[in-house]
Amino acid sequence: MRRLTYCLALTLLLPLPAALAAEVPPTPNESDIPQPVPVTIDLAGSDKPDIGRFLNVRRAFSPSLSPDGTQLAFRTSITGKPQLWVADADGGWPRQLTFGESVTFNAWSPGGEWILYGADRGGNEREGYYLVTADGTRERELLAPSEAFRVFGAFSPDGGKIAYSSTQRNGRDFDIYVFDLETGGEVLVYEGVFGFFVQDWSPDGSTLVLSETRGEDANDLHLLDLETGAARVLFKPDTAAAYTDVSWRPDGSGFYLATDQDREFSALAYYDLAAGELGLLATPDHDVGNVTLSPEGRYLTWTTNQGGYSALHVRDLPAGSDVAVPELPAGIYTLDWAPHAPVASLAIRGPQVPGDLWTWNLAQGELHRATESALAGLDPARLVVPQHFDFPARDGETLHGLLYLPPGLAEGDKPPVLLGVHGGPTSQSRPSFSPSTQYLVAQGIAVFDLNFRGSTGYGKRFARLDNQRLRPNAVLDMEDAIRWLETEGSVDTTRTAVMGGSYGGYLAFAAVTTLPDLFDVAVSFVGVSNWITALEGASPALKASDRAEYGDIDDPEDREFFRQLSPITHIDRVKTPIMVLHGANDPRDPVTESDQFVRGIRERGGTVEYLRFPDEGHGIRSLENRLTAYRRIAQLLRRELGVEETPAVEVNEAKSPLGAD
């Protein structure tokens, strides 16, 4: 989730002779701005479907149940941008509630009357907050969009107030605010330093659990008394740990959570408030997450991350026994409860399930599928399920990855391979549905999603193996992955590409500068090219984590280290054709990070294509822009990797009624 930078100065490119510079058109120029294209769909049944079909696969996500568990709010991009919809919890035709800017989050009020949602402007991530009724006939603006960043926390138990974080006081630090929905009054209840965020509200409404950022994979917990304004530390260990998924007992005596305190993997735990004691309830050799408790306190649920796939666990606390989980599609699970009913929403996304929602009434043992995403005419049998691999790096560390092979390969066929590098870096490539991955695999290009050191899901030590001066090792992991793929033998490592977004965009830049002979082609989305400007201008949310993750940029030795680590410093090494994509409204990695890299390649006579979207931010949301991006990417990859061009097919020029995910 990198980066938010504001410093626009280019400090590391060496000047070129005036005569040479004069021959290069300015960057950006008019040709860098993609023009909207019609939303076209090829005819169904092709062995190599166009990207339009994959981007028109529908999915539902971010479910929020009404207090009584009878209705389900969620988001879907069926219209081309993420919007808010509502359906009956047991299934049925949904109703669209919002029609404007992309909706960024949603939460149903415990009082039941309103659904809260956020929306930014063109991907700038500075949200306004709004309320809408479930029938969509009444809407109300709570907080207008501004230059401040906001992070929603939670509703009060009675639904009359919301708590959230905002940088409005000084533009740098996240403070805690409480907003009264009836009076419209906003109260600053806690002044934070760097990153303070609301994890949960106690059942009696008297206190907030606050999370203080401590590195990208860790946080400290505080308990804020709303009457006195006093905050006390709950957890602040010497060795940073993560404390997530706080879920209170109904009587307020304590809460369940996931934590890796004094452990390699996150465990299921319970904190007794009166005793001040933390007890571990389940300690698997996998990360525990998504800890939730049913509103009456009977059912405790959690997931474990097993090779990227979720396993769901349910315990009947009064009975002291585990509850059988119904058979579910393989993928990644997220479960949440209705505020006042024993009904849970279950979101599932996997390689062959783009993203759908179920409701589960545990008291009655009933499971209903609330949404069923259409696959836009794609054959589900041809959606590729990846194989998970562990393999050694040059220094003996174990690396991890997911290999997607094109369907229908003949005996002995070895396709070219694209190395996918995820963002974060504290994130994980998991077996979800990726339109771009499935599209490229269908085009005959294998994809290996690499979980390099610094990734989550493989223990706390592994997630910190790229911190500070260890960061170059993650760059070398890309080379070790290609070398291992050569010995594994399923793909042709003489034809290789690398592609990533955000931090993965930085790794794509680093690949073509640090490993200039390894890849035939590269694609970078919204990447960092200059760590000096990136760290100096990091967002308020990232400032607190950066010193743990990267180092102190004010220290002369650290500064020189990051100058050397910056791809822009070594841009004269680039030999590889590269495509660079960026949204002009990006608040994390300003578009100038890509501007300067593209300009540097052009000034040196290199090969670069630039797609600079004027109406996007840290990613590409709109269907038209996604179609443009991935068609251009596929053209580049086919050309540079020697993949046969897809035969031209008749397309339906009418605007598709479906949307992108």
* Average pLDDT over every residue of 615-630: 90
CA 6 to chain centre: 22
- For 249-293, how does the pLDDT look when each residue is reduced to its tens digit (9 = 90+)? 999 999 999 999 999 999 999 999 999 999 999 999 999 999 999
When pLDDT is cut at 50, 70 and 90, the band that residue 22 belongs to is: very low
State yes or no: pLDDT of 183 exceeds 80: yes
State yes or no: pLDDT of 11 exceeds 70: no
Q: Output the pLDDT for position 45.
A: 82
User: How many CB atoms lie under 10 A from the CB of residue 9?
Assistant: 12
CB 308 within 8 A of CB 35: no
* Average pLDDT over every residue of 496-506: 96
Q: Output the pLDDT for position 535.
A: 77
Integer Cα distance of 88 and 178 in angstroms: 31
State yes or no: pLDDT of 199 exceeds 90: yes
Q: Is the peptide bond before 15 cis (omega within 30 degrees of 0)?
A: no
Which tops the pLDDT comparison, 465 or 38?
Answer: 465
Of the candidate ranges 525-529, 531-535, 571-575, the one whose mean pLDDT is the lowest:
531-535
When pLDDT is cut at 50, 70 and 90, the band that residue 374 belongs to is: confident
* Average pLDDT over every residue of 122-126: 88
Q: What is the DSSP annotation of 311-352? A: EEEEEETTTTEEPPPPP--SSEEEEEE-TTSSEEEEEEEETT
* Residues in the chain, overall count: 661
State yes or no: pLDDT of 551 exceeds 80: no
User: How many CB atoms lie under 10 A from the CB of residue 416?
Assistant: 23
When pLDDT is cut at 50, 70 and 90, the band that residue 24 belongs to is: confident
Q: pLDDT above 90 covers what percent of the chain? A: 76
Integer Cα distance of 195 and 385 in angstroms: 38
Q: In degrees rounded to 5, what are phi and psi of residue 498?
A: -135, 140
* Average pLDDT over every residue of 215-227: 94
Q: Count the alpha carbons within 13 Å of 155 in the hemisphere toward its beta carbon.
A: 22
Integer Cα distance of 651 and 629 in angstroms: 18
| Cβ burial 166-193 (10 Å sphere, 16+ → b, else e) | bbbeeeebbbbbbbebeeeebeebbebe
* Average pLDDT over every residue of 337-360: 95
Integer Cα distance of 515 and 483 in angstroms: 13
State yes or no: pLDDT of 221 exceeds 50: yes
Superfamily for 27-53+377-647?
A: Alpha/Beta hydrolase fold, catalytic domain (3.40.50.1820)
pTM, two decimal places: 0.89
State yes or no: pLDDT of 317 exceeds 60: yes
* Average pLDDT over every residue of 478-487: 98
Integer Cα distance of 248 and 339 in angstroms: 12
Instruction: For residue 386, give every residue at least 6 positions away whose Cβ sits within 8 Å of its Cβ, in sequence order, or none.
Output: 351, 402, 403, 404, 431, 449
Q: Output the pLDDT for position 40.
A: 73
Most confidently modeled range among 6-10, 30-34, 252-256, 556-560:
252-256
Q: Output the pLDDT for position 107.
A: 97
State yes or no: pLDDT of 238 exceeds 60: yes
State yes or no: pLDDT of 656 exceeds 90: no
* Average pLDDT over every residue of 442-457: 96
Of the candidate ranges 188-192, 305-309, 563-567, 620-624, the one whose mean pLDDT is the lowest:
620-624
Q: Output the pLDDT for position 546.
A: 59
Q: Output the pLDDT for position 466.
A: 87
Q: Output the pLDDT for position 46.
A: 84
Q: Output the pLDDT for position 21.
A: 45
Instruction: For residue 381, give every residue at least 6 positions away whose Cβ sits within 8 Å of its Cβ, in sequence order, or none.
Output: none
